[in-house]
Amino acid sequence: MTATNTQTAALEDLLAFQHETEALAGISGRLEWDQETMMPRGAAEQRGEEMAALSSILHARRTDPRIGEWLAATDGAELSQVDAAKLRHIRRTYDRTMKVPARLAAELARVTSISQGKWAEARAKDDFAAFAPVLAEVVRLRQEEGTALADGGDRYDALVDDYEPDMTAAQLEAMFGEMRPRLRALREKVLEKPAPEGLTGEFDEDKQMALAVKLARTFGYDLTRGRLDKSVHPFSSGSGSDVRITTRTSATDPFNCLYSTIHEVGHACYEQGINPDYALTPLGGGVSMGVHESQSRIYENQLGRSRAFTHWLYGQMTDTFGDLGLDGPDAFYAAVNRVRKDFIRTESDELQYNLHIMLRFDLERALISGDLAAADLESAWNERFEKDFGYAVPRASLGCLQDVHWSVGLFGYFPTYSLGNVYAGCLHATMRDALPSLDSDLAQGDTAAATAWLRENVQQHGGLYRPAEVITRACGAAPTAGPLLDYIEAKFSELYDL
């Protein structure tokens, strides 16, 4: 057999093996979705064992010695751009997974499955002390994993790399250092102004879900390949032909449901928009959480909270709920973008959102470095929040228990939300230049041109390019925080007559 034939055979065997691994990973994701939506509460312990078993199988496949042999056999091969990208992802996953003992991978899956249930119970009871012991165990395991992955480097950097390849804490710190002063200064000016009127009263939760389904379709979510369900914390799951999302409802806050839905639809449309030829390959999912968040945030904010789109949404809301008690579509736009003192990240306005992320970034770095003990997280959170926002956290569900992320071990994930906002700012500026009729379209509830632009320039590529390269190719320049900050300052200065 010639060298070329050997390389071709190795590539075919490797990609066939990877196809099965991707399918098994999809099953694991479906189990996680079920746990959040439909699983009986009493099944948590058993589900933890099931997830640990499946994690062990996936870990064994991802560290199979044949992968190293196949990768070595393809060295020097003339590869297409697509195959070269597939091998880049496989090699990266193989190298990282080889550093993590199978025992640790299984234990992480088991403990985080259990921890998620304990977090939900503690959140419902506002009882951080009940959650602290299992959180400490999750932190310990992730510290061990970070140390193994870092190979002598910074273990928090190693964890960030799980969600945003090529990104470091130092880069994030520099980005936040650029953003924080402008955001704080603008926030101070805005909060000195009278707050616009918000929605009051109660809004039928079944009607909220019906409107959420309509909004999902409006933004291009294909419900023949997806589902919309309810969960404690909204999320998106899956890829290819099975992409599921959740939202939540509040009788007094329909915006929570509607904008959580639009946000998760952004994630889901990214997955549904990937080139179908990439299904069940390493290219068949979003390339990073930062790029993923760029899609959810631009759907939710630059499109969904724009003056043009909210004018259309005002009509949908009045058709669904009747008189909203607001003086027309401009007052509704102001209500949607209302800046107020609050506690919840997912309900935060665009101006304050990134300040919530910066708080979490600093606290989780301290947890992973060992400078902050899990038992002290609540007091550290409350102290930092009051310093940053100027008022005290009254209970844990409005503070350190509000997010699911740390309960399931997602350390290094939070900063990708702000990175996604930065990416979205760049994409939005470029999109506006490319689509001069954008506002007139959105005023009719027509997102087709905007979502098609994002699908062509970002979504279809899946994992073909590196994260920052995706944004650079779409925008013609490397991503910076400038466009986002300019957009936020212009929007809220106009809204609050600064």
Annotated binding-site positions? 263, 267, 293
φ, ψ dihedrals at 199, nearest 5°: -75, 145
Distance CA 78, CA 297 (A): 38
Catalytic residue among 32, 107, 164, 264: 264
**Which residues 6+ apart lie within 8 Å of 422 measured at CB?**
175, 479, 480, 481, 484
Smallest CA-to-CA distance from 293 within 157, 423, 430, 456 is with 423
φ, ψ dihedrals at 229, nearest 5°: -125, 180
Smallest CA-to-CA distance from 307 within 102, 57, 491 is with 491
Distance CA 232, CA 250 (A): 11
**Which residues 6+ apart lie within 8 Å of 337 measured at CB?**
305, 349, 350, 491, 492, 495
Pairing of the two strands 242-247 and 226-230: parallel
**Which residues 6+ apart lie within 8 Å of 396 measured at CB?**
122, 123, 126, 127, 128, 378
Classified as helix, coil or strand, 226 is strand
Does residue 264 carry a catalytic annotation? yes
> Alpha carbon 161 to chain centroid distance?
15
Sheet holding 236-239, edge to edge: 226-230, 242-247, 236-239
Is the CB of residue 290 less than 8 Å from the CB of residue 458? no
Region of 416 please: left (phi>0), alpha (psi -120 to 50) or beta.
Answer: alpha
CA distances to 68, 287, 416 from 175, rounded to whole Å, are 37, 21, 12
Distance CA 361, CA 349 (A): 19
What are the contacts of 170-176 at 24+ separation with CB within 8 A?
Answer: 172/361, 172/415, 172/418, 172/419, 175/418, 175/419, 175/422, 175/481, 176/354, 176/358, 176/361, 176/415, 176/418
Point out the annotated binding site for Zn(2+).
263, 267, 293
> Alpha carbon 244 to chain centroid distance?
14
Distance CA 215, CA 212 (A): 5
φ, ψ dihedrals at 204, nearest 5°: -50, 130
Catalytic residues, which ones? Answer: 264
